[in-house]
């Protein structure tokens, strides 16, 4: 099916482990985004990408790494997971970068760091 | 810097009541867009509406209506004759162009509970 998918949907990992969250979109949208959702904070931007091989930091990038070798994929890696990274992570994409275009969100990944 | 405030953390109403969700934003940009997203219990985020900073016309879509007032920097959302299916968390968001991408700033959300 066309759209934006995330995997895994649920993940439990231990402190200090590396974990990668996957995001895949079938629309060939240029822009992709990673957000984390925490109670009392809404959604906060972690990283975004304007095109393959072009990425930039958002509001809360520390502890995260992204890459974008292909337009359709935008993985998010926690290099050494910490308990404060327990959150729900949303990937989003947008056809264009200008602010008038809505972002389409994936179903989210619930990550628990123990 | 951009900021979006949704002062109502949680609202509970009985079905068929009207309810208004408040959203106040801050930005120095003259061109910006405002959005409302719905997050039902299933967790996905659903786009509801977009409004640009130059268009202050109110909008109605079925039971939903939006009131944009630049003078008070508000973009409020009203559900008329609420239904149980409206139960969700609603997010207001502000989008501005940074020169490299549009960035969405979200409010903290308002949880709406509609009961029978």
> According to the model, what pLDDT value does residue A28 have?
87
Residue A102: the pLDDT is: 83
The reply to whether residue A100 touches residue B103, judged by beta carbons under 8 angstroms, is no
pLDDT tens, residue order, chain B (116 aa): 889 999 999 999 999 999 999 999 999 999 899 999 999 998 999 999 989 898 888 888 899 999 999 999 999 999 999 999 999 999 999 998 877 777 889 999 999 999 99
Chain mean position to CA B81: 18
CB < 8 Å to B53, chain A:
none
Q: What six digits make up the tokens of A35?
A: 């957000």
Q: Rounded to an integer, what distance in angstroms lies between the CA atom of residue B14 and that of residue A67?
A: 47
Please judge whether A101 and B108 are an interchain contact, meaning their C-beta atoms are less than 8 angstroms apart: no
Q: What residues of chain A lie within 8 A of the CB of B89, using their CB?
A: none
DSSP A103: P
Of A33, A48, A107, the CB nearest to B44: A107
pLDDT of residue B58: 84
pLDDT of residue A45: 93
Residue B61: the pLDDT is 87
Residue of chain B minimizing CA distance to A92: B45
Cβ pair B44:A104 closer than 8 A: no
Cα angle B73, A39, A13; round to 5: 140
All residues at 6 or more sequence positions from B64 whose CB lies less than 8 Å from its CB, including other chains: B48, B49, B77, B78, B79, B80
Residues 6+ apart with CB under 8 A from B28: none
Contact residues on chain B for A50, CB-CB shorter than 8 A: 100-101
pLDDT of residue A2: 65
Contacts of A45 in chain B (CB under 8 A): 103-104
Whether A41 sits inside 8 A of B108 (CB atoms) is yes
3-class SS of residue B70: helix
| Burial tier of B37 (Cβ tally within 10 Å: 0-12, 13-18, 19+) | buried
Q: Which chain B residues in 47-86 lie under 8 Å from chain A, judged by CB atoms?
A: 47, 50, 52
- Please tell me the distance in Å from A104's CA to the nearest CA on chain B: 8
Which pLDDT value is given to residue B68? 94
Alpha carbons A5 and B107: distance in angstroms, whole number:
24
Pick the residue of A34, A99, A110 with the most B CBs within 10 A to test the interface with B by mutation. A99
In angstroms, what separates the C-alpha of A31 from chain B's closest C-alpha? 8
User: What percentage of residues in chain B have a pLDDT greater than 70?
Assistant: 100
Q: Residue ranges of chain A with pLDDT lower than 70?
A: 1-2, 97-100
- Two tokens at B66? 């939006």
Chain-wide mean pLDDT for chain B? 93
């Amino acid at each position: 099916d066309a759209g934006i998918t995330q995997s895994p949907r649920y993940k439990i990992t231990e402190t200090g482990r590396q974990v990668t969250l996957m995001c895949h979109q079938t629309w060939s949208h240029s822009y992709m985004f990673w957000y984390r959702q925490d109670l009392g904070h809404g959604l906060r931007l972690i990283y975004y990408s304007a095109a393959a091989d072009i990425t930039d930091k958002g509001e809360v990038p520390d502890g995260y790494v992204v890459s974008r070798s292909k337009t359709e994929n935008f993985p998010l890696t926690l290099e050494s997971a910490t308990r404060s990274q327990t959150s729900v992570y949303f990937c989003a994409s947008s056809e264009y970068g200008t602010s008038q275009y809505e972002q389409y969100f994936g179903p989210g990944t619930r990550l628990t760091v123990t | 810097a951009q900021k979006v405030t949704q002062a109502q953390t949680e609202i509970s109403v009985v079905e068929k009541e009207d309810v208004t969700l408040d959203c106040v934003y801050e930005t120095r940009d003259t061109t910006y867009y405002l959005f409302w997203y719905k997050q039902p219990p299933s967790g996905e985020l659903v786009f509801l509406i977009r409004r640009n900073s130059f268009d202050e016309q109110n909008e109605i879509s079925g039971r939903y209506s939006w009131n944009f007032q630049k003078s008070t920097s508000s973009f409020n959302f009203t559900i008329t004759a609420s239904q149980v299916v409206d139960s969700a968390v609603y997010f207001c968001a502000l989008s501005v162009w940074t020169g490299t991408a549009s960035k969405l700033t979200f409010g903290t959300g308002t949880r709406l509970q509609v009961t029978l």
